[in-house]
Amino acid sequence: MPAEWAPHRGTWLSWPHRESSWPGNFEKVPAVYGQMVREIALSEPVHINVADRAMEDLARAVLAQASATQGNIHFHHHPTNDAWCRDHGPIFVQRPGHELILDWGFNAWGGKYPPFDLDDVIPSRIGEEFGIDVEHPDMILEGGSIDVNGTGTLLTTEACLLNRNRNPSMSRADIEATLRRYLGVNHILWLGDGIVGDDTDGHIDDIARFTDERTIVTVVEDDPDDDNYELLQDNLNRLRMMTDQDGEPLRIVTLPMPRAVVWEDQRLPASYANFYIANDVVLVPGYDADRDLVAKRTLQELFPTRRVVVIDCTDLIWGLGAFHCLTQQWPSVHSAPAPPLLRSG
């Protein structure tokens, strides 16, 4: 599986339409979504799943209002249950000379939000449309629960992948073996808990992300009285003891957490780690003007050749996700390296 910063053939999205995902606030979501699409389309082709022509027409109207580049945006009539394409979309991997889609099992984060039958088949539908071979690993996995450096190391959390609501018959060793087999990794790094308010049971893309082969950026909370403080300190301490697939120490860079974002007495999983890396831009969710600026400066240093753009996500996060949760990269096809030798994670 190529790293997210590797060249993209495009980005996959699913148009938001499930009002219950943003109860009482859905009408504000398409405008934020349109801003996201505009910035990505300046960088690479955007492919959007919609249910039918009526939804496509609605989406085109929203994108026109956002001044999105229509010529670089493509619609595909693949109906979905929800908009979180990171988790239900195709994971593209490279085999020598060709690409492959992995269609992992999807059960809406442990069966929390039925129905999910349409989301579960999106990778196979895309594979059929483009004539790309599809494999079906016998395991539940969401794209937001993993992050890779493209050279053999995968980062994830115990809270999510070991949760019994995903793969109750699989041991940690079974899960690691499946990740190695299908994603071409040989070194697996485990963090602990996810942030407060995260209904995914601890996706890694709200906590820590690779920004190059040996650098991980991770969020920290400075207030000892905040509920995220201890769990993020534990993850930070774990990261500082970890190495890459070659046994070399990792470079750990910290991002602040935004001040708590609360909606109707519910703590929302607002995090600057939920950024998305496109070919020419890094999209960062914004929540808090002062800390937004710190996050932008930090990520600009880590991605000096890309624009770093902050878009306010205080309305979007009411759906419990932001830019990384909505996107799935489509890597450019290239000759893949030989699979790495197996090594304990």
pTM, two decimal places: 0.95
325 an active-site residue? yes
Crossing angle of helices 53-65/29-41, nearest 10°?
80
pLDDT tens digits for range 33-51: 999 999 999 999 999 999 9
Q: Which domains does the chain carry? A: 8-331 (3.75.10.10)
pLDDT of amino acid 145 = 98
Helix-strand-coil split of the chain, %, nearest 5: 30, 25, 45
pLDDT of amino acid 333 = 86
pLDDT of amino acid 343 = 36
pLDDT of amino acid 70 = 72
Partners of 11 in the beta sheet? 46, 329
pLDDT of amino acid 69 = 77
**Are 120 and 180 in contact, with CB atoms under 8 Å apart?**
no
pLDDT of amino acid 151 = 97
- Cβ-in-10-Å burial (0-12, 13-18, 19+) of 44 comes to buried
Regions in the chain scoring below 70 on pLDDT: 335-345
Using alpha carbons, list the distances in angstroms from residue 186 to 154, 165, 189, 268. Answer: 8, 25, 10, 34
Strands 215-220 and 91-95: unpaired
pLDDT tens digits for range 279-309: 999 999 999 999 999 999 999 999 999 999 9
pLDDT of amino acid 341 = 39
Question: Would you state the structure tokens that stand for residue 69, as one six-digit string?
Answer: 């580049």
What's the CA angle centered on 62, arms 77 and 319, to 5 degrees? Answer: 80
pLDDT of amino acid 334 = 73
Catalytic pick among 85, 160, 313, 325: 325
Report which of 121, 149, 113, 94 is spatially closest to residue 14, judged by C-alpha positions: 121
- Cβ-in-10-Å burial (0-12, 13-18, 19+) of 266 comes to exposed
Residue 100: what are its φ and ψ, rounded to 5°? Answer: -145, 145
Name the strands in the sheet holding 187-191, side by side, starting at the edge strand that comes first in the sequence.
147-148, 153-157, 187-191
Using alpha carbons, list the distances in angstroms from residue 242 to 162, 221, 238. Answer: 20, 20, 7
3-state secondary structure of 282: strand
Dihedral over Cα of 258, 141, 200, 36: its sign: positive
